[in-house]
Structure 1
Amino acid sequence: MFNLGNTIVSDEILENEFVCNLDACKGACCIDGDAGAPLEDSETEILVDIYADVRPFLREEGIKAIEEQGAFVKGEDGEWETPLINKEECAYVIYSEKGIAKCGIEEAYNNGATSWRKPISCHLYPVRTRDYESFTAVNYHKWEICDPACTLGIELSVPIYIFVKEALIRKFGESWYKELELIAKEKKATE
């Protein structure tokens, strides 16, 4: 681990490779697990504000879950998260013609219906962040359903921090990311 501004970053995001392989996993991260996608406090109101714009892109099951539970819910851990359909998949999940789970919020974004892409936790995945009193931890979340993504990342030689570059910049800013790139280059030079 290393310090970068007010973050403590796991070396694993520099050392491990990752590229989503949706043909292999079918978007399982949006449908597996026991909780919705983690949300930052500021994202809860965004979900409320954009719901009318996102709604046309959602499935009936998702609309029903959101209208019954709300655009966001408090999870068992006391943190905000997206609601689930039947305690399984994210209420914002839609499916492609190939049966791949996708984000309805991102579909709305891609179609120009909203300027907000999706929750930052989803955009950052497989990177997870956790805020503490004086710093934010930036870690790699390993999940066996992502084994095909790790394999593809190795084949393509794409480290995690490069795969989630846009999301890391969205979360921490351009200068933070440039410093991360310098650290990665220095670490690689000492190997």
Structure 2
Amino acid sequence: MIVVDKVLISDEIAEAQFVCDLNKCKGGCCEEGDAGAPLEDAELDIMVDLFEKVKPYLTPAAIAEIERKGKYVYHREFGWVTPTLGGDNEICVYGSRDEKGIIKCAFEQAYNDGVIGWKKPISCHFFPIIQKTGKRGEYDRMNYEPRPTLCSPACSLGKKLKVPVYKFLKEPIVRKYGEDFYKALEKAATEYYTGKEK
């Protein structure tokens, strides 16, 4: 376990290697799961405020589902989550498939086009790191939880390119915790490896 600024980080985040291979997984993490993407409380208002700007990136079925369910829904196990088309293990309403069958996020597409300044929910950005805050808010926990079958191409590509999980996910880590936190994590991960080599 690595500890940085009251964040408990699993050793696998320093040790395991991972690089998304969208041509193989097709963005399946936006579809496979027990519920939609978990949302932080602060993200709820952001999604409402940005909805009209991302609406052109949504499918007609998604718009209809959002009008029926709302821009986010409450799940008794996961809290606030994005709605999905239908039930569990269905595509997130904010996702749609491109001509290659790859699921693209409406928020991320709008962000990449310069339409909005918010990329996507932090839980999506972090995957396959699952980040949670302790029940009393006294600490955060970061675990590496790739999907066994879905993420196997990403695990293989990460090993081939020799990219540790924390380096692949530098952008969301900095987005959530800041540049100084990332530098401390990088230092701790390097020391972790040095200790293992002895």
Q: CA deviation at 1:119?
A: 0.2
Distance (Å, rounded) in 1 between the aligned partners of 2:91 and 2:171:
25
Match of 1:44 in 2: 44
Match of 2:23 in 1: 23
Distance (Å, rounded) in 1 between the aligned partners of 2:14 and 2:192:
9
Q: CA deviation at 1:78?
A: 5.2
Q: Retained in 1: the 8 A contact 2:38–2:78?
A: no
The one of 110, 113, 116 aligned to 1:111: 113
User: What secondary structure does 1:102 align onto?
Assistant: strand
Cα 1:18–1:178, aligned 2, differ >3 Å: closer, same or farther? same
Match of 2:97 in 1: 95
Match of 1:150 in 2: 155
Q: CA deviation at 1:76?
A: 2.8
* TM-score, reference length from structure 1: 0.97
Distance (Å, rounded) in 2 between the aligned partners of 1:138 and 1:163:
15
Structure 2, unmatched stretches of 5+, are: none
What letter matches 1:164 in structure 2?
Answer: L
User: What secondary structure does 2:151 align onto?
Assistant: helix
Q: Deviations over 1:44-66 (max 9, x none)?
A: 11000000000001111111111
Q: Deviations over 1:160-181 (max 9, x none)?
A: 0000000000011111100001
Structure 1, unmatched stretches of 5+, are: none
Distance (Å, rounded) in 1 between the aligned partners of 2:181 and 2:78:
29
Match of 1:68 in 2: 68
Match of 1:128 in 2: 130
Q: CA deviation at 1:182?
A: 0.5
Q: Retained in 1: the 8 A contact 2:95–2:104?
A: yes
Q: Identity rate of aligned residues, in percent?
A: 46
What letter matches 2:147 in structure 1?
Answer: W
User: What secondary structure does 1:118 align onto?
Assistant: coil
* Range with greater deviation from structure 2 (72-81 or 4-13): 72-81
Are residues 1:165 and 2:170 paired?
yes
User: What secondary structure does 1:178 align onto?
Assistant: helix
Stretches (4+) displaced over 3 A: none
* TM-score, reference length from structure 2: 0.94
What letter matches 2:143 in structure 1?
Answer: N
Distance (Å, rounded) in 2 between the aligned partners of 1:136 and 1:43:
18
Q: CA deviation at 1:97?
A: 1.2
Q: Deviations over 1:106-150 (max 9, x none)?
A: 001111111110000000111111111210001101312111100
Q: Retained in 1: the 8 A contact 2:55–2:63?
A: yes
Distance (Å, rounded) in 1 between the aligned partners of 2:114 and 2:69:
26
Q: CA deviation at 1:37?
A: 0.3
The one of 129, 137, 142 aligned to 1:138: 142
Are residues 1:187 and 2:192 paired?
yes
Distance (Å, rounded) in 2 between the aligned partners of 1:59 and 1:34:
22
